[in-house]
Amino acid sequence: MSPELTPAGADTPSDVLAGEEHESAAAMLPDVNTPGPWAMQLAVRYDKQALPCQVAVCEAAAQAVVTLLADARSRQDGAWAPAVRRWRDGRIRKLVRRARGQRWDRVQEVPGVTVEHRGASVRACVPMPARPLPPLLDALQVSGTSFPATTDTDSIAHRDHSPAVVVIALTPLAELTTGKAAAQCGHAAQLVWEHLVRAGASATLRAWHDDQWRVEVRDDLTATQWRDLATAPIQVVDAGYTEVDGPTETTRAWWTPAVTD
């Protein structure tokens, strides 16, 4: 059984959430006794007229995952804690779906948190059984979720950002759709957060919290640069059920420790 993770003084900052919890959300929480695989569903807003770049989507997905895990509702006696614990006891599976127009608006009714970052919007939903899904999520497409490598406005949106506490590198050795890459970045961010909580790195967690759990995703590494990261403290290996052929290392992550940790 997974240990309880309770980072002192690192609750989710309220201004990172876009919108309020829907009134019927409590009624949509899953039954933790439901057997079978569980997953965290990530919904990405898809607007053809204003597509964010792939890296922005990956960063928003990673930020949304940690925002949900750090939320007081996900810990101790919080309303979401039983579902989060049930999911963490198995594989930390994540599925990325794209939502357009009214479907994006309606998916806000599913319990979870929404993060907006560099033009990308991602909602991380409270973990639930992989099947059956609430109709609001089941209607959203999974396969083929891809966003452009760059956009005209992205460099302007990113220009003034200070360095992130946590950096996640995507492998240059495998080709991933945006949906797959976003899920892998979500895994990496979760593993960093869990590592820091277990290590009692309260100052680093506070610095990350104060930056609204923002991460930097690097997708421009060469094979040589990737090899140089072989000792990164967090390494994510995908089982190879979709997109990649067999177990494949997809992401490596590290962080800048706070001086007082």
Determine contact, residues 224/35, Cβ cutoff 8 Å. Answer: no
- Picking from 21, 117, 113, the residue whose alpha carbon sits closest to that of residue 67 is 113
Q: Which residues contact 224 (CB under 8 A, 6 or more apart)?
A: none
pLDDT for the residue numbered 27:
64
- Position 6 scores a pLDDT of 57
Q: What percent of the chain has pLDDT over 70?
A: 85
pLDDT at position 17 over 90: no
Distance CA 234, CA 167 (A): 10
pLDDT at 15: 36
- In tens, the pLDDT along 163-203 reads 999 999 999 999 999 999 999 999 999 999 999 999 999 99
Instruction: Please indicate, yes or no, whether the overall pTM of this predicted structure exceeds 0.75.
Output: yes
- Amino acid at site 67: T
Mean pLDDT value across residues 10-31: 55
